[in-house]
Amino acid sequence: MKTVLILGCGYVGRAVGLHERTQGNRVLAVTRNEGMADQLRSEGMDAFVGNVHETGWHTMAENVDWALNCVSAAAPSLEGYRLSYIDGNRSFADWMGRSGFSGRAIYTSSVSVYPENGGRWVEEDDARASSERSEFILESERVFLESTNPAAKTVLRLGGIYGPDRSFLANRIAKADGALPGYGDYFLNLIRLEDIVGAIGAVFRSENGGGVFSVVDDAPMLREDLVRELSTRMKVPAPRFDPLLSGAKGSRRMDGQRPANRRISNRKMKETFDWKPAFPNASAGMASLVSS
C-alpha cells in the first residue's frame, strides 16, 4: 500500500484520490473547502482543511510515497495566482525538504504558458511568458523543480480540462441563443479528466526521470469545428462567434489578449511514460457528455 498526498483536492485531485483508493492506497487530501473535506472523508480519504500555501497541513503529511500538488488559484487575480501557485509550491518544497520526502512529486501546471504561434505545433521547450499570469505559472514551476530535495519531480502542463459534470462548452452551446462569446478560429488543446488521472498514475508508477510534460489529447481541434460537431450531436443550430459578447473567459482574455492559437504536442509524455489518452480528441471525449 502506498500513501498518496494530494494538495488541492478539487475536481482533478478528488478523481485521483478516488482512483488511488480503488488501488488500495491511502490518500491524504488537502482542501480549502469544508464541504469537500466531508465528502472526501466519506469516500475513504483523510482530509485536512487549509490552504496549500500555508504550513498547517505539513503535520498530517507523514510517511508519504507519492505527492501531487494540483491546487487551483484561490482567486482569478494575480494575487490569487501568486498565493496558490508560487507560494503553494514554496510550501510544498518546504515540506519535502523538512520531511525528507524522496518519492515521486507531481505539480500540475497549465498549457497557458505556450504562446501564440499561428496554429503550429509546440513542445515543452517553446513555453515563454506572454502575460503576468503566464510568468507567475512559469515561476511556480521553477520553484517546484529547483527546490533542493531528493524527490523525483515532474511538472504536468494540463490542457483545458473537461469531463463528467464539467462540460462547459456544451453548456454554453445549449444557452447560446444564436451566438457564443469569443472566437472560433483557434485550436483548443484539451484533455478529459480520466486521461489526466491516467497520466498522473503513469508518472507515479514509472521509474523514468522527471521534468516537464504536456498532457493534452492527440488531435487539437479548432473551436469552431468542435462547436459545430457538438451542436449537431445536441440537435441545435450551431451558434456564430461574437468577440464583443461578454462572458469569454481564460487567462489571456483576462489580460486583454486574443486566445493563443497553437497545437500542443503530447509526444514527450507518451514516449517517456508509455501513456496515451483514451480519448484521442475532444470530439470523442465529449460524445458521451452531451445529450442529443
Q: Is the residue at 249 inside a domain?
A: no
**Domain span at residue 208?**
3-166+189-220+262-280
Phi, psi of 239 (to 5 degrees): -75, 155
Q: Is the residue at 152 inside a domain?
A: yes
Residue 209: predicted pLDDT = 80
Amino acid at 50: G
Range scoring the smallest mean pLDDT among 47-61, 96-110, 238-252: 238-252
In tens, the pLDDT along 138-170 reads 999 999 999 998 999 999 999 999 999 999 999
Residue 251 has pLDDT above 50, yes or no: no
Q: Is the residue at 236 inside a domain?
A: no
In tens, the pLDDT along 17-29 reads 999 999 999 999 9
Going by pLDDT thresholds of 50, 70 and 90, the confidence category of residue 273 is very high
Helix %, strand %, coil % of the chain (to 5): 40, 20, 40
Residue 264 has pLDDT above 90, yes or no: yes
Whole-number mean pLDDT of the chain? 94
Quote the number of domains for the chain: 1
Distance of CA 170 to the CA centre of its chain: 19
Residue 290: predicted pLDDT = 87
* pLDDT (mean) for 175-204: 96
CATH of the domain at 24: 3.40.50.720
pTM of the shown model = 0.94
Q: Could you give the CA distance from residue 290 to residue 167 in angstroms, rounded to a whole number?
A: 8
Q: Is the residue at 44 inside a domain?
A: yes
Amino acid at 144: F
| Environment class of 43 (CB within 10 Å of its CB; exposed 0-12, middle 13-18, buried 19+) | middle
Q: Which three cell numbers stand for residue 117?
A: 504561434
Residue 74: predicted pLDDT = 86
Going by pLDDT thresholds of 50, 70 and 90, the confidence category of residue 252 is very low
| DSSP conformation class of 269 | H
